[in-house]
Structure 1
Amino acid sequence: MNTATARYAGQLRTEATHVASGNVIQTDAPTDNHGRGEAFSPTDLVSTALGSCMMTIMGIVADRHQLNLVDSTFAVVKHMSTEAPRRIVQIDVTFTLPAALLPTDRALLERAAYTCPVTLSLHPDIRQNVVFNYEA
């Protein structure tokens, strides 16, 4: 069964549908590559998928250990190559997690984050710079 189907909508945009849920994601080429930047670019989705995957894996571990990560956040910065071929060269992910987490729980969650399938699937040439901040 397909995971997703997609169609080219013209003007450097696609519309992808998640088969199981019917949710739709639109993409647009970024402004620095002939697009209007009015939606996630495909490389934005890759970068965001890294943070989402890491947070999801931490959520699974948090649930298993009765830790509350609700309202935790992450921010992503994608760095593209300046020379051809155009590609992602680095992804920065900064997590903000609850300050109340004990040092042992922090270590558990941080180790778990690095086991996410996206982390393990990205080419090793793509630098993954991950920061964990603990705030109230």
Structure 2
Amino acid sequence: MTATITYLGDFKIISKHEKSGATITTCAPLREGGTSEFFSPSDIFGISYGQSMLMAVAVLGEPRGIFITGATCELKKSTYPEPKRIGTIFCIVRIPGKFTDEQKKFIEETALSCPVALSIHPSVQKTVMFEFEG
């Protein structure tokens, strides 16, 4: 993946995906002089975790007959001061449909070992709860 990241001023940044042309705009949070009209960079980090979990389950699950269309991840991220960093990520993953115990185990293990999860620093406290709705 290649992207071009440009600081626009006023604590806003735009990132452009080279291949697709898609863009993501971020800004600083209110407490840091931003407007909070967009996700902050650390917000993007948090939602990348949730997206990575769902994508891993979808990509690896569909060939096994596991479909998670409509699945959601409710995510809360908090930061610690001095040095400022992401401190905790809390997720509730809700998956509609009926699954066997074996499929549920596959879903949970796949989500928890997604690429972003394996890249998060060990000092970040991650809590993930799974709710199967079916």
TM-score (norm 2): 0.95
What CA distance in whole angstroms lies between the structure 2 residues aligned with 1:15 and 1:128? 28
1:121 to 108, 116, 119: 119
What CA distance in whole angstroms lies between the structure 1 residues aligned with 2:42 and 2:78? 10
Match of 1:34 in 2: 33
User: 1:129: Cα distance to partner?
Assistant: 0.7
Which stretches of structure 1, 4 residues or longer, exceed 2 Å deviation after superposition? none
List per-residue Cα deviations over 1:4-45 (Å, max 9, x = no partner).
111111100000001111000000101122211000100000
Match of 2:12 in 1: 13
User: 1:70: Cα distance to partner?
Assistant: 0.6
User: 1:99: Cα distance to partner?
Assistant: 4.2
Structure 1 segment 46-57 matched on structure 2, within 5 A: 46-57=45-56
Question: Does the Cα contact within 8 Å between 1:57 and 1:112 map onto a contact in 2?
Answer: yes
What CA distance in whole angstroms lies between the structure 2 residues aligned with 1:95 and 1:114? 11
User: 1:66: Cα distance to partner?
Assistant: 1.1
What CA distance in whole angstroms lies between the structure 2 residues aligned with 1:75 and 1:4? 27
Structure 2 gap segments, 5+ residues each: none
What CA distance in whole angstroms lies between the structure 1 residues aligned with 2:127 and 2:33? 28
Match of 2:73 in 1: 74
State, as a whole percentage, how many aligned pairs show the same letter.
Answer: 29
1:88 alignment partner, SS class:
strand
1:74 alignment partner, SS class:
strand
Match of 2:60 in 1: 61
Structure 1 gap segments, 5+ residues each: none
TM-score (norm 1): 0.94
What CA distance in whole angstroms lies between the structure 1 residues aligned with 2:60 and 2:31? 38
Question: Does the Cα contact within 8 Å between 2:68 and 2:97 map onto a contact in 1?
Answer: no
Match of 2:133 in 1: 135
- Aligned-pair Cα RMSD in Å: 1.1
Amino acid of the structure 1 residue aligned with 2:8: A
Question: Does the Cα contact within 8 Å between 2:15 and 2:24 map onto a contact in 1?
Answer: yes
2:89 alignment partner, SS class:
strand
